[in-house]
Amino acid sequence: MSQDPNCIFCKIAEGKIPSRKVYEDDEILAFHDIQPWAPVHFLLIPKQHITSFAHVEESHAPLLGKMMSLVPRLAQQEGCRPYPEGGFRLVCNTGDDGGQEVRHLHFHVIGGPRPWRKG
């Protein structure tokens, strides 16, 4: 699997940096954001290093499809209330203008009763 030795999320995916795991399989990891904005805030990442959403190619489609299909189940598991009163926000910051800080593709799943610290 392609990894970037200087990438913090690759290190989390490899278990070299600890995280509070929400979900894991051979291709995907979900873990709690270290600075949550809301009662529920976790990140969903591919274990392979993909720099951003701008780097996604057609060959990634099955992986991304699997990630997207996990979101509702994991959101509910982590405490998001049911749709439509509950629900969640799915965010993928991409590049400088998109506000991306960590250069490894990640989806924020944010939810739980408001008010939230941000958003």
The window from 32-40, 54-62, 68-76, 110-118 that contacts ligand AMP (CB under 6 A) reads 32-40
| Among the listed residues 69, 72, 68, the one whose alpha carbon sits nearest the alpha carbon of residue 80 | 72
| Among the listed residues 93, 15, 16, the one whose alpha carbon sits nearest the alpha carbon of residue 29 | 15
Site for ligand AMP in 96-115 (CB under 6 A): 99-102
Other CB atoms within 10 A of residue 8 CB: 14
The correct pick among 5, 6, 34, 115 for binding ligand AMP (CB under 6 A) is 34
92 secondary structure, DSSP code? -
106 is catalytic: yes
Sketch the per residue contact string, 60 through 99, with Zn ion: x for CB under 5 A, - otherwise.
----------------------------------------
Instruction: List the catalytic residues.
Output: 106
